[in-house]
């Protein structure tokens, strides 16, 4: 199966959701580990916020994405 995305933001959202699922993290758990609010993680996954590079690095570190 080949996935196609209209833009980089959609790819980012997909990957955060996917790796959160793979790591068996709730949005609340990811927020706690990343030192971000659960609302922020929810808004990122809904496409309402685009994380800054430092926040994205915090999320990626907890999801074990290199």
Query: Distance (Å, rounded) from C-alpha 54 to C-alpha 5?
Result: 24
pLDDT of residue 66: 82
pTM: 0.89
Which residues constitute the domain of residue 14?
8-52
pLDDT tens digits along 12-63: 999 999 999 999 999 999 999 999 999 999 999 999 999 999 999 999 999 9
Confirm whether 62 is domain-assigned.
Answer: no
Mean pLDDT of 1-8: 90
Quick one: pLDDT band at residue 1, thresholds 50, 70, 90? confident
**Number of domains making up the chain:** 1
Confirm whether 37 is domain-assigned.
Answer: yes
CA dihedral 19, 8, 34, 53 (to 10 degrees): 150
Confirm whether 17 is domain-assigned.
Answer: yes
Can you point out the beta strands (E) in the chain?
A: none
pLDDT of residue 33: 97
Confirm whether 61 is domain-assigned.
Answer: no
Residue with tokens 């971000």: 36
Cβ–Cβ under 8 Å, residues 38 and 27: yes
């Amino acid at each position: 199966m080949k996935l196609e995305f209209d833009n980089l933001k959609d790819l980012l959202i997909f990957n955060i959701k996917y790796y959160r699922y793979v790591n068996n993290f709730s949005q609340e758990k990811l927020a706690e580990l990343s030192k971000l609010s659960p609302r922020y993680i929810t808004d990122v996954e809904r496409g309402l916020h685009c994380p800054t590079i430092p926040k994205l690095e915090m999320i990626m570190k907890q999801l074990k994405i290199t």
